[in-house]
Structure 1
C-alpha cells in the first residue's frame, strides 16, 4: 500500500511542479446533532486526495490543496456554529484562488462537497475561463448505481463520515429530521432556511448508516469524480493546444 501523497500545504516551493491543482471546497455549517460542522470540507478533501492517489501511476502530475473550509451556507445560519461567507464573497475568493494558482499551475479544478456553493462556482469558473485560465469544477456525488443521497446530514453523509472520520460521529445523538424529498421542501428552504422545517438541522434520516456503506459510497464518488476529472483534463488540454 502506497503512503499518501503530500498535499500542497506539505510541500516546499522548489518541490511544486504540478500540472493540475485540485482545490477542495467545503463549508462550516451545522450537520445535525451528530456530525461535525466541517463535514463538507472533510468529504471534499478526502475525495481530492483520493483523486490524487488514483493518478499515482499516471503521467500527469496532480496535487490537492488544503480545503477551503468556508462556503455559502446561509440556509443553515439558524444554527450555532454555522459560518457562511455567502455567494458573492465565495465567488470572489474562488476567482482570486484561480488567478493566483494558475500563475504556476497549468490547470485548476475545484472539488466541491456543498450544494450551497454551486452558484459561486457557476460564476467563478466561467470568469476564470474568460481570462484564458484552465479552470473547472467537480461535484462530490455518487455514481448512478449508488443509492440516491438524502439532502443533509442523513444516511448518506453519516455513512461517509463513519468511513472517513468515525471518531467524530456521535451516533447516539443521531435522529431523523424532515424526510420529505428536497424538491418538495425547496420553496420552504429558500424562505426560512433549514431551521424552519427541521429543528435538529437534519434533512433525511441517518438510521442505517454504516462505515461499510460509507466505504461503498466513497468509492462510488471517487469513481464518478475521477471519470469527470479525466474528461475535464482532456477538454482543458484541447483548449490549451487549440
Structure 2
C-alpha cells in the first residue's frame, strides 16, 4: 500500500499487527555520467514495492512511505552534483519519521537503504538504535547486510560475463542494470560503451585511508563495469533485494534480531562521527 494514496480513516483502520511500515531511502548523488542522481531512490522504491507484493501473498501488508531523499553521501565527495543532509540531521529526521508512526500505533518499521557510504549507513543505524528505545516499537535496516553479503545468483551472473563482483560498488553493472530494467530511459545508453571498467580494491583503499570514490581512483564517479549492464541482471538484482527484505520482515516479526554487519564494516562505522560528517 502506498501511504500517500490512503485517507486518514483508511490508515486508522489498518491492522497494526498485520501491517509494517516500509521507508525507502535514497541519495541525490552523482552516479557517473550515465545514471540520474536519484538512482538509489528509484531502486529503493522498486525494492520496497516488490517486497510488499511478496509479503501480501503471506497476508502481511506493507505501508510504503514516500522515498526519503538527500541521504549523506561523503563517498562521492570531490565530484559535482551531490545534494545531501548532514549525517546527524538525516539520522534525527529518520528518528522523527519513525516516532510519528510509533505514535500512530504502528509497531514495526523497515528502512530500505542501498547506500554503501559509511556516513549514510551510520546515520540510519543510529536512527534505528534510537527508535528501538521506544516502547512497543521495532525498527530495522536490513538491506546493508544483504549488500555486504555474498549472493550466489548475482555473483554467478557477473562472473559468467567476466566481471569480478568485488569490483562492482557504485553506479556499477548492478545499479546500471537495475535502472535499465526499471526504465531504459533512465540510463544514458549512448555513453555506456565508452565507460571503461573502474576496478578498485576498495578494502585496500580504505586501509590506506581513502574513503571517497575519488580518493580511491575513480575519475568519472563510478566503481565497476557499467558498460556491461544487462536488464536481466537488473531484474535479478531487484528480485533478490526484495526477497532479502521480505525475509528480513518475516524473520524479525518472529521476534528475532537481524545478524550483525560483517566485522570489517562494523569497524569502519566505529570511525564515523555523525557530528563531523
TM-score when normalising by structure 1: 0.87
Alignment of 1:114-125 (within 5 A): 114-116=115-117, 117-125=120-128
Distance 1:61 1:226 in 2: 11
How far does the alpha carbon of each residue in 1:88-122 deviate from its partner, in whole angstroms, 9 at most, with x for none?
11110111111111112221111111122210122
Pairs aligned (count):
230
The within-5 A match list for 1:36-185 is 36-104=36-104, 105-116=106-117, 117-132=120-135, 133-139=137-143, 141=146, 144-145=151-152, 146-147=154-155, 148=165, 150-174=168-192, 175-176=195-196, 178-185=198-205
* Partner residue of 2:6 out of 1, 6, 11: 11
Which of 245, 249, 253 is matched with 1:229 structurally?
249
Distance 1:31 1:213 in 2: 18
Q: So what's the TM-score if we normalise by structure 2?
A: 0.77
Higher mean displacement: 175-184 or 18-27: 175-184
Contact 2:26 2:69 in 1 (8 A): yes
Is the deviation greater in 193-202 or in 30-39? 193-202
Q: Is residue 22 of structure 1 aligned with residue 41 of structure 2? A: no
1:188 Cα offset (Å): 5.0
CA distance in 2, matches of 1:89, 1:178: 32
1:61/1:217 CA distance change after superposition, 3 Å:
closer
Taking the aligned partners of 1:139 and 1:27, their CA distance within structure 2 comes to 15
Task: For residue 236 of structure 1, report the CA deviation from its aligned partner.
Answer: 7.0
- SS of 1:33's partner is coil
Q: Answer yes or no: is the 8 Å Cα contact 1:106–1:134 preserved in 2.
A: yes
- Provide the secondary structure at the position in 2 that maps to 1:130: coil
Q: Of residues 213, 217, 221 in structure 2, which corresponds to 1:194?
A: 213
> Unpaired runs of 5+ in structure 1?
1-5, 238-242
Structure-2 separation of matches of 1:79 and 1:125: 29
The more displaced of 130-139 and 46-55 is 130-139
